[in-house]
Structure 1
Amino acid sequence: MPVLPAWVRSAAFWALVYSYCFLCACTALIKLFCSILSRPRETFCRVHREVTPSCLHDPALGTHCYVRLKDSGLRFHYVAAGERGKPLMLLLHGFPEFWYSWRYQLHEFKREYRVVALDLRGFGETDAPSSKDSYKLDCIIVDVKDILDSLGYTKCVLVGHDWGGMIAWLVAICYPEMVTRLIIMSFPHPTVFTEYILQQPSQLLKSGYYFFFQMPWFPELVYTINDYKVLKDLFTSQNTGIGKHGCRLTEEELEAYIYVFSQPGALYGPLNHYRNIFSCLPLKIHQVTMPTLLLWGEEDAFVEVEMADLTREYVQNYFQLSILSKASHWIQQDQPELVNNLIWTFLKEDRFCTKD
């Protein structure tokens, strides 16, 4: 079978992207009109939140710190636990999350690590540049490198969940000398993701929000409807929520998420991460060379479990895959004790070796 020219394949890819983007936007628009017709007053109702939930200032979780990077000039916010000088464990959150999604890990690993939970560029209290191009993955990867330099480290245990998992994979590929061990939750190797999503319609549907987020301003509006109902449902609904069989968010914890993302302009930066994803995929370099742990929830509503084992092909070192029974997408919050135990076991493993 003849191989299509590169420009034809590229044109077909972008036709798919924008066609599906249009379809997702139409679906969201229909839902918005239905909400306006059935609940006009509630649709655009938003609670004005000024008081920071007290759980975000729990001293047991660590110390709130800020660092301004020399090259970008951006100020980053992070929460750090554990003594300075201990090995660094750097935690990268997903969407719609921020540093607080690592609260269980901050408390657990501070015994042996300097644990740093970062607010990524555009999230939480970290600066949010106004240009969409400022959120290209190249920029985000360099952020992680510069954060290590600013913290006085050259290496770390790198942990990423969801979108933070995507970033962690890319950091491990681009700067392998910086990552001693890689721990990923709920996201496959980027090459597996891009190939699988184009071959499996079911995963394409589950990843519809990637395409929807390509639209300007409209996704931000949708998230604010009915006082951020979309955000609340992501964490609490029967299909996608935290704690069907594990820990549940308390009312205060849920309010912490709503508080952070309801601040003026707080959704613009996070969604711009997704608006740049198609500019860097597929990858030119694929292989990961450090020991890698991949954790996956059996009941993840956003990424199909079949991608987890396919990831093994791209790790040229010890690779451990653990699929957690009955766990959701929000795995480190849903099953924190089990996740922490699996991480400890992986970190203390002494038989790492390079594959033949």
Structure 2
Amino acid sequence: MARVLHDVFVFTTTLVLRIRVLGYWSLVYGYCALCAAAALLKLGWNLILRPSTTFRWGIRETPPACLSDTSLGTHCYVRIKESGLRFHYVAAGERGKPLMLFLHGFPEFWFSWRHQLREFKSEFRVVAVDMRGYGESDLPSSTESYHFDYLVTDVKDIVEYLGYNRCYLVGHDWGGTIAWLFAIHYPEMVNKLIVLNCPHPSVFTDYALRHPSQLLKSSYFFFFQLPRFPELMLSINDFKALKGLFTSRSTGIGRKGRWLTAEDMEAYLYAFSQPGALTGALNYYRNVFSSFPLSQNDVKSPVLLLWGERDAFLEQEMAEACRVYIRNHFRLNIISGASHWLQQDQPDIVNTLIWTFLKEGEGHKTHRN
């Protein structure tokens, strides 16, 4: 009798789990279909209004001068033996000074940290990396290559290649997610953690599942699951949608901050017009539902979380909720009028807040040797 009850229990539990999994993926791909239908309607409307320009785009052959600005640092490359991937990074400041490592988000590359490279090179060895799939770093073609374990290991390998065993880690958007996870898995390698407009992974997961408003704001996660179509929609009309992320009234930079100059915008278009560039960036999203971390682990490093009040992609309530997962000093600064693109939108305020945080408590001078 006990055996029968045990078998019934196992069968019921397995069935419930499979139904939940089926329901989860039905929701994911059902939402994908809705997003695709909306994008197709938008594409059709563009074809009616601007048939001659809708499918106009092309590779930018010549990089703009701002990408070779020597005041930002030196362009370097490293091939990691374990993964076999080559990474591109821009470095400034004296070797031997404490390492400050910058991780960018989507759709960005090392250039998004230009204001911080200039600011912190006086007292740090500052390094802004093109993460795998971006810029001049290698672009693995399979979505499995963008699993979180690989992305976190990339950071560890780069820090060690640079000759350090600790760093001050700064991440924005996707780079913020990787920074959170790196601080969780390698706490001994993080002096201080600075995250811009990105909640702790557990906070994002819990909040999104309970708040339809955040699921709506994150609808692009579902749209990006589709093969090839998102690349098309981001690139048509000479990358109009990509430009809009940085310049539109709802999502863009510049309401109270700094506008992107024409040359700044051209730098982004140059980077993402290269063969495979959009696919590499979108593969972060295409792997997210199968590998998004649900870790409840806490962060032991001191944490500064900076948040743009006008972030169009993330609910502000998630910022305060991150406090639950911090086991050290936690400082949260919400910057009035700032957009999601915080380090480019309000660089002066961001840099000042980072300096203040660095000088608090143990401060960076404690670790200079």
Structure 2 distance, partners of 1:330, 1:129, is 26
Instruction: Identify the residue that residue 221 of structure 1 maps to in structure 2.
Output: 232
Structure 2 distance, partners of 1:317, 1:12, is 38
Q: CA deviation at 1:178?
A: 1.1
Q: CA deviation at 1:137?
A: 1.2
Structure 2 distance, partners of 1:12, 1:181, is 40
1:310 corresponds to 2:344: no
Q: Using a 3 Å threshold, how does the CA distance of structure 1 residues 8 and 47 change in structure 2: closer, same or farther?
A: closer
Moved more, 181-190 or 6-15: 6-15
Contact 2:170–2:193 (CA<8 Å) still a contact in 1?
A: yes
Contact 2:148–2:292 (CA<8 Å) still a contact in 1?
A: no
Aligned match for 2:200, one of 181, 189, 197 = 189
Q: Which amino acid aligns with 2:112?
A: S
Structure 2 distance, partners of 1:163, 1:319, is 20
Structure 1 distance, partners of 2:43, 2:185, is 41
Q: CA deviation at 1:264?
A: 1.4
5+ long unaligned stretches in structure 1? none
- Partner SS, residue 292 of structure 2: coil
Structure 2 distance, partners of 1:250, 1:281, is 35
Structure 1 distance, partners of 2:46, 2:353, is 43
Q: What is the aligned-residue identity percentage?
A: 63
1:121 corresponds to 2:132: yes
**CA offset digits 1:190-232 (Å, max 9, x no partner):** 1110111111111111111111111111111111110000011
Normalization by structure 1: what TM-score? 0.96
Contact 1:165–1:185 (CA<8 Å) still a contact in 2?
A: yes
1:255 corresponds to 2:271: no
Q: CA deviation at 1:351?
A: 6.6
Q: Using a 3 Å threshold, how does the CA distance of structure 1 residues 286 and 7 change in structure 2: closer, same or farther?
A: farther
Instruction: Identify the residue that residue 84 of structure 1 maps to in structure 2.
Output: 95
Structural mapping, 1:158-169, within 5 Å: 158-169=169-180
Structural mapping, 1:27-66, within 5 Å: 27-66=38-77
Moved more, 287-296 or 343-352: 343-352
Structure 1 distance, partners of 2:296, 2:123, is 33
Q: CA deviation at 1:280?
A: 2.1
Q: Which amino acid aligns with 1:135?
A: Y
Contact 1:160–1:166 (CA<8 Å) still a contact in 2?
A: yes
1:204 corresponds to 2:215: yes
Moved more, 96-105 or 145-154: 145-154
Structure 2 distance, partners of 1:108, 1:69, is 28
Q: CA deviation at 1:300?
A: 0.6
Contact 2:202–2:295 (CA<8 Å) still a contact in 1?
A: no
> Which protein shows a greater Rg?
2
RMSD: 1.4
Moved more, 57-66 or 236-245: 236-245
Instruction: Identify the residue that residue 8 of structure 2 maps to in structure 1.
Output: none
1:330 corresponds to 2:337: no
Structure 1 distance, partners of 2:323, 2:17, is 28
Structure 2 distance, partners of 1:8, 1:315, is 35
Q: Which amino acid aligns with 1:340?
A: N
**CA offset digits 1:166-205 (Å, max 9, x no partner):** 1111111111111111000001011110111111111111
Q: CA deviation at 1:336?
A: 0.3
Structure 2 distance, partners of 1:263, 1:147, is 24
- Partner SS, residue 282 of structure 2: helix
5+ long unaligned stretches in structure 2? 1-12, 364-369
Structure 1 distance, partners of 2:90, 2:57, is 29
Structure 2 distance, partners of 1:188, 1:252, is 31
Q: Which amino acid aligns with 1:232?
A: K
Aligned match for 1:74, one of 70, 74, 85 = 85
Q: CA deviation at 1:47?
A: 4.3
Q: CA deviation at 1:5?
A: 4.3
Aligned match for 1:151, one of 162, 165, 168 = 162
Aligned match for 2:187, one of 176, 182, 198 = 176
Structure 2 distance, partners of 1:75, 1:66, is 7
Structure 1 distance, partners of 2:124, 2:285, is 31
Structure 2 distance, partners of 1:147, 1:92, is 11
- Partner SS, residue 40 of structure 1: coil
Q: CA deviation at 1:149?
A: 1.2
1:25 corresponds to 2:33: no
Contact 1:173–1:285 (CA<8 Å) still a contact in 2?
A: no
Instruction: Identify the residue that residue 230 of structure 1 maps to in structure 2.
Output: 241
Instruction: Identify the residue that residue 131 of structure 1 maps to in structure 2.
Output: 142
Q: CA deviation at 1:277?
A: 1.1
Moved more, 35-44 or 293-302: 35-44
Instruction: Identify the residue that residue 239 of structure 1 maps to in structure 2.
Output: 250
Structure 1 distance, partners of 2:70, 2:52, is 40
Structure 1 distance, partners of 2:23, 2:325, is 26
Q: Using a 3 Å threshold, how does the CA distance of structure 1 residues 87 and 203 change in structure 2: closer, same or farther?
A: same
Contact 2:205–2:294 (CA<8 Å) still a contact in 1?
A: no
1:347 corresponds to 2:358: yes
Q: Which amino acid aligns with 1:95?
A: F
Instruction: Identify the residue that residue 9 of structure 2 maps to in structure 1.
Output: none
Instruction: Identify the residue that residue 292 of structure 1 maps to in structure 2.
Output: 303
Structure 2 distance, partners of 1:73, 1:307, is 37
Q: CA deviation at 1:284?
A: 3.2
